[in-house]
Structure 1
Amino acid sequence: MTRGAPEPRPSEARLRLLATATRIFYAEGIHSVGVDRIIAEAKVTRATFYRHFPSKDDLILAYLREIHGMERGRVEAALAADPSPAGALLAIAGSIAESIQSSGFRGCAFLNAAAEYPDPNHPVHQEVIGHRQWFLDTLTALMAQVHEETAGPAARHFVMLRDGAMAAGCLFDPALVSETFLRGVEGLLDINSERQSAQSHR
């Protein structure tokens, strides 16, 4: 079986543009940052920008996909670190708690983007929904291994705990918020583990 040629590495200019946009969009918001500033801080020409990103929306979508890749990587690392479903869920929660306490934390990049692009038909909003569906599906699959009958509600509960912690982490003591979030996830898993144990003894 022959392997296809590897995908070409993105150009240095594109990587620099995306890194600049990722930093500024997350720190300051999307609508407030213009293309001219991205071009200036990335030290590229306007022609170079538009060669890689035909519009600002294309850059925004690339930014969100970059963040999705980072978050997916953290989830995959958590799964690799502890293959047990409950352990993986706790590891995912731990990664979220760690991000809340990180320097420069400004909440969830996807929730922030959804607030700026509320139109459900806009490509940016749809990108947000796609990311959140992936996260919910991942949690649901893990929760099903803890207690299959409550997997859907338990996964949605986890997402709501996470969303609340992401918002509270910008307003209150991040360490306290993280601790509260982790205790909430532990309690959620305890409830579902008890249900699984009760069913197995019937």
Structure 2
Amino acid sequence: MVIETPETAQRAPAKGRILDTANILFYQDGILNVGVDRIIAQSSVTKATFYKHYRSKDNLILEYVKSQRSAVETQVQSVIDNAASPHDAVLGLLEGVAAELTKPNFRGCPFANVVAEFPDPTHPVRQLIAEHRDWYNEALYELMRGAGHPFAGDAADELMLAKDGALVGGNAGDTIAAGAAMARVVKRVLAEAVTV
């Protein structure tokens, strides 16, 4: 899942190319499998330019996670803002996840992939991901509360787990089965809500 961010146009061209290249390579091949020299070569910059903008691979990794987070949060907020109701917003969000499963270069959830490579929960990238997950879960909670679900927190947790499961399961196995299972959970959770 390579997501363009709103900041892309505001970055220096070389800095933007480096991050755009990292977005593709880190997602497709894994962060630990991609070296700085490969990023430099594929983004057509010099070593000096890379280090001028990022100073280290660790800083680029943080920027990668921040750019993924920013893009997902922007997309989620857009779906919420454009939905006619909380119910429709939840359907829109989960339809977006289902669409990810069918993309040609789909390789699962970028955040789950990073977590698998960085097991230490105190690592800065893990903290960014934890903050993102809290934000996403809170957005789902507010939607389910707005839809009149009697247990909005539990519903948000179930939707979050269904989303995670579809992205991880779709990467590891059958994308159709993963999407269908997620849809069943979403349908059940939404049916429990009392439309207000």
Common fold: TM-score over 0.5: yes
Which residue does 1:34 correspond to in 2? Answer: 35
Contact 2:87 2:147 in 1 (8 A): yes
| TM, length-normalised to structure 2 | 0.90
The alpha-carbon deviation at position 29 of structure 1 amounts to: 0.4
Contact 2:165 2:178 in 1 (8 A): no
Deviation sequence 1:117-152 (CA, Å, 0-9, x none): 111111111111111111111111111112354111
Which ranges in structure 1 are unaligned for 5 or more consecutive residues?
A: 1-7
Name the stretch that deviates more: 66-75 or 21-30.
66-75
Distance in 2 between residues matched to 1:48 and 1:146, nearest whole Å: 50
Distance in 2 between residues matched to 1:50 and 1:83, nearest whole Å: 47
Contact 1:169 1:178 in 2 (8 A): yes
Distance in 1 between residues matched to 2:106 and 2:149, nearest whole Å: 34
Mark the structure with the bigger radius of gyration: 1
Contact 1:161 1:184 in 2 (8 A): yes
Contact 1:74 1:95 in 2 (8 A): no
Which residue does 1:47 correspond to in 2? Answer: 48
Which residue does 1:95 correspond to in 2? Answer: 96
Which residue does 1:151 correspond to in 2? Answer: 152
Which residue does 2:59 correspond to in 1? Answer: 58
Distance in 2 between residues matched to 1:122 and 1:170, nearest whole Å: 25
The DSSP-based 3-state class of the residue aligned with 2:34 is coil
Aligned length: 188
Distance in 2 between residues matched to 1:52 and 1:130, nearest whole Å: 25
Task: Extract structure 1 runs of 4+ deviating beyond 6 A.
Answer: none
The alpha-carbon deviation at position 10 of structure 1 amounts to: 1.3
Aligned-residue CA RMSD (Å): 1.7
Q: Kindly, what percent of the aligned residue pairs are identical? A: 37
Contact 2:18 2:43 in 1 (8 A): yes
Mapping of 1:105-116 within 5 angstroms?
A: 105-116=106-117
The alpha-carbon deviation at position 180 of structure 1 amounts to: 2.3
Contact 2:18 2:40 in 1 (8 A): yes
Contact 2:18 2:50 in 1 (8 A): yes
| TM, length-normalised to structure 1 | 0.87
Which residue does 1:25 correspond to in 2? Answer: 26
Which ranges in structure 2 are unaligned for 5 or more consecutive residues?
A: 1-8
Which residue does 1:67 correspond to in 2? Answer: 68
Which residue does 2:3 correspond to in 1? Answer: none
Distance in 2 between residues matched to 1:73 and 1:29, nearest whole Å: 24
